[in-house]
Structure formats: structure tokens, C-alpha cells
């Protein structure tokens, strides 16, 4: 069987959205994945992957020697028939050539496209999971089903036990909760009213707060505003896959346009995503079966950035400030209580 190499060294959300491509390729033969240490952590235990090769861009990119050592490690495994460039930089294309891959497939819009043997059209009107999946498909392939492009993650038994312990410490394994993910690496993507939303939601469910250590100040603010026993503060406490496991047990999650949305898609958790400077039409919206999105329509300045700047370029930040907690709370109620089909 032919062996494939997937090169994906981009943001965490992109790594998660690459799992449908990996799953498709695994039907044809062994699949290895080149990923950053953070990407490798979230891909752990994936049964569709033979080997995850860790590639620290911060260290490797600055040193030709380290780059060559990475290539030698890849080539020592066995030759690849095809490298799939899920991350399209010129350096990734060069690395694909150096591995000896006979075919190098990536998007026609990528900066490294001159190094590819096959260029696939980049479809801006498709979800990014579908775009990545299409790297493995012919142009005449049928459109994918929802199941084919839904990402998947695989928390370990130890990560499940970690979440069990966290929930017991917070009061109960069985009591329902809603997850809130107030953080983002991009300042303008952080919706400012999570404290008010938590107060409204805590009347009927416990609140679990998801995030990294950088989100501790907002997590503490949320926890201080709620009655004792209502909060499961997991910020800075869990690995990526343990966070996915906790999200998978939630009744729903409210998140910004950031990595927890993609964790929720992979775990099938009903999702409400709040979009400010970005829009779901970029192809990075939620993929859970039950989901909805919030965004302020009618702003001529929106979207203003593919990722979301740290500060509003115009200084008013209306795209987030004018999405009030009452409105988001009403959308959350719809996600939690979907209409019964007639």
C-alpha cells in the first residue's frame, strides 16, 4: 500500500480540521503527519495516523542544520508516494521535496505552489475541512457528506479520568453543565460579555470555563460572579485532548472564533460561536450537528481581517460590543432546546 505524508504546521484549528483528510487517506494506506508540538498533542491516539512527526517551527526554521535533521528523520522511515501540503508555505513545499515524495499536492493559492506536482483549486466558498479533504479527491468526486468532513479527536483513558476527577472535585459527575470558552489569541475576537452570560446561564446549569493559562483573569472574574458550586474552572488545568473530553460532556459550548469551537466540532458538542471581526464564510465555522453562529450584520467594516487584529482598526469594536448578552443568551437557549421536528 502507498504511504502518505500530511504536512500541517499551521494553527491548532487548522490541524483539527485536517483530520477528515487524514481519515480519507488512511483508507488507502499508512499516513504519517508532520505537525508542531501543539498539533502533535491534539492528534495523539488518532487511529488513522501511523506516526506523528513533531516539528518545532520556532527552533527548526531558524537553523538549516535542524531542518535537515528533520528531513533525515522523515526519510529514514520509508519513502512516501505523496505529500499533502495542508499548510502551504514555501518552506513546507521545500520540505516536501526534500523528503523524496514523488507527488506533492497542495492548493493553487499557496505560496509554495511552484514546488507542487499538482495544484488543487482553493474554494473560498467551502468549509476549510472540505477544502483540506479535497486535496485527496479528484475534481469529479461527489460532494462530501457531513460525516466525511466532521473532524474527530481521541482523548485517552487517562484524559477521561482527569476529567472525571475534575468534575468530582467540582461537585458531581452527572450534573449538566454549559461550557464557556472566553479566550482567543486575537484580541478583537474576545466577546466582552462572558461574565453576564455566565450569570444568566447559571440559573439552570453549572458553568465550565475552558481555556489556557492566559485566560485565567477572565475565568476568575466569571467564577467570582457566580454562586459557590456553580463553576468548573478548567482554565490552565487540562491538556488539549482533556479539554476536548470536557467539552464533549457539555450540554453546549459558547465560544469565540477560536480553537475550542473546533474541539467542539470534533466531539459533536452543540455549539454557539460568536464572530466579531471574522465571519463563518471564511470557512472556519462550527461543524457539530447542532450549532449556530452570532455576528453583527450590516457593518461595512466587517470582516476586517482573516484572523482578527489585536485592536479594532477603527477604534469602536462594534462587531463585538453590540452583540449583547441578552441576544447571545437567547441563541444559547435555542441551541440547548432545539425545536422538535413535526
For residue range 271-328, what is the model confidence (pLDDT) as tens digits?
999 999 999 999 999 999 999 999 999 999 999 988 889 999 999 999 999 999 999 9
User: Residue 62 pLDDT > 50, yes or no?
Assistant: no
Model pLDDT, residue 65: 62
Q: Where are the domains of the chain?
A: 4-149, 157-336
Its pTM stands at 0.93
User: Residue 61 pLDDT > 60, yes or no?
Assistant: no
Mean pLDDT across the stretch 185-207? 95
CA 312 vs CA 191, 207, 316: distances in Å: 13, 29, 7
For residue range 238-259, what is the model confidence (pLDDT) as tens digits?
999 999 999 999 999 999 999 9
SS3 content of the chain, % helix, strand, coil (to 5): 40, 15, 45
In this chain, the answer to whether the domains covering 4-149 and 157-336 adopt an identical fold is yes
Q: What is the mean pLDDT of the chain?
A: 92
Q: Does domain 157-336 have CATH number 1.10.10.10?
A: no
Alpha-carbon distance 320 to 182, whole Å? Answer: 13
On whether the CB atoms of residues 232 and 209 are closer than 8 A, the answer is: yes
Q: Does domain 4-149 have CATH number 3.40.50.2000?
A: yes
CA 172 vs CA 100, 113, 296: distances in Å: 53, 52, 37
Query: Which residue is it, cell 491548532?
Result: 12
Distant-in-sequence contacts of 259-263, Cβ < 8 A, 24+ apart: 259/11, 259/12, 259/13, 259/16, 260/179, 260/181, 260/210, 260/211, 261/13, 261/181, 261/285, 261/286, 262/12, 262/13, 262/16, 262/17, 262/151, 263/16, 263/153
Model pLDDT, residue 66: 64
Mean pLDDT across the stretch 154-179? 93
Pairing of strands 291-294, 271-274: parallel
Task: Output the nine-digit C-alpha cell for 313.
Answer: 482598526
Nearest to 4 by CA among 60, 85, 66: 85
Q: How does residue 1 score in pLDDT terms, banded at 50, 70 and 90?
A: low
Alpha-carbon distance 271 to 211, whole Å? Answer: 16
User: Residue 42 pLDDT > 50, yes or no?
Assistant: yes
**Polymer length of the chain:** 342
User: Residue 34 pLDDT > 70, yes or no?
Assistant: yes
User: Residue 341 pLDDT > 80, yes or no?
Assistant: no
Alpha-carbon distance 275 to 297, whole Å? Answer: 10
User: Residue 63 pLDDT > 60, yes or no?
Assistant: no
Q: Is 216 helix (H, G, I), strand (E, B) or coil?
A: helix
Query: Which residue is it, cell 484524559?
Result: 159
Alpha-carbon distance 117 to 102, whole Å? Answer: 8
Q: How does residue 95 score in pLDDT terms, banded at 50, 70 and 90?
A: confident
On whether the CB atoms of residues 11 and 89 are closer than 8 A, the answer is: no
Amino acid at each position: 500500500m502507498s504511504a502518505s505524508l500530511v504536512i500541517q504546521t499551521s494553527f491548532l484549528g487548522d490541524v483539527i480540521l485536517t483530520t477528515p483528510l487524514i481519515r480519507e487517506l488512511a483508507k488507502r494506506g499508512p499516513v504519517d503527519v508532520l505537525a508542531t508540538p501543539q498539533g502533535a498533542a491534539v492528534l495523539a491516539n488518532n487511529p488513522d495516523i501511523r506516526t506523528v512527526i513533531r516539528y518545532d517551527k520556532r527552533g527548526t526554521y531558524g537553523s538549516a542544520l535542524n531542518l535537515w535533521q528533520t528531513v533525515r528523520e522523515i526519510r529514514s522511515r520509508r519513502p512516501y508516494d505523496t505529500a499533502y501540503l495542508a499548510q502551504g508555505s514555501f518552506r513546507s513545499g521545500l520540505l516536501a521535496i526534500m523528503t523524496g515524495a514523488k507527488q506533492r499536492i497542495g492548493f493553487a493559492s499557496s505560496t509554495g505552489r511552484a514546488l507542487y506536482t499538482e495544484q488543487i483549486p482553493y474554494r473560498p466558498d467551502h468549509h476549510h475541512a472540505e477544502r483540506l479533504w479535497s486535496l485527496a479527491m479528484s475534481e469529479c468526486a461527489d460532494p462530501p457528506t457531513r460525516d466525511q468532513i466532521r473532524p474527530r479527536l481521541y482523548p485517552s483513558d487517562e484524559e477521561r479520568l482527569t476529567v472525571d476527577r475534575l468534575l468530582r472535585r467540582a461537585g458531581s459527575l452527572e450534573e449538566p453543565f454549559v461550557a464557556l470558552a472566553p479566550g482567543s489569541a486575537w484580541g478583537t475576537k474576545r466577546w466582552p460579555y462572558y461574565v453576564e452570560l455566565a450569570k444568566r446561564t447559571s440559573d439552570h446549569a453549572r458553568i465550565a470555563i475552558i481555556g489556557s493559562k492566559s485566560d485565567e483573569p477572565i475565568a476568575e472574574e466569571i467564577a467570582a460572579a457566580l454562586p459557590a458550586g456553580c463553576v468548573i474552572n478548567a482554565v490552565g488545568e487540562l491538556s488539549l485532548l482533556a479539554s476536548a473530553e470536557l467539552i464533549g460532556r457539555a450540554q453546549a459550548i459558547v465560544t469565540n472564533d477560536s480553537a475550542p469551537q473546533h474541539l467542539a466540532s470534533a466531539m459533536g458538542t452543540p455549539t454557539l460561536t460568536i464572530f466579531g471581526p471574522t465571519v463563518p464564510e471564511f470557512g472556519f465555522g462550527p461543524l457539530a450537528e447542532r450549532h449556530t453562529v452570532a455576528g453583527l450584520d450590516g457593518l461595512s467594516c466587517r470582516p476586517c481581517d482573516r484572523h482578527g487584529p489585536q485592536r479594532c482598526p477603527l477604534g469602536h469594536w462594534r462587531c463585538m460590543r453590540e452583540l449583547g448578552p441578552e441576544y447571545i443568551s437567547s441563541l444559547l437557549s435555542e441551541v440547548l432546546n432545539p425545536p422538535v421536528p413535526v
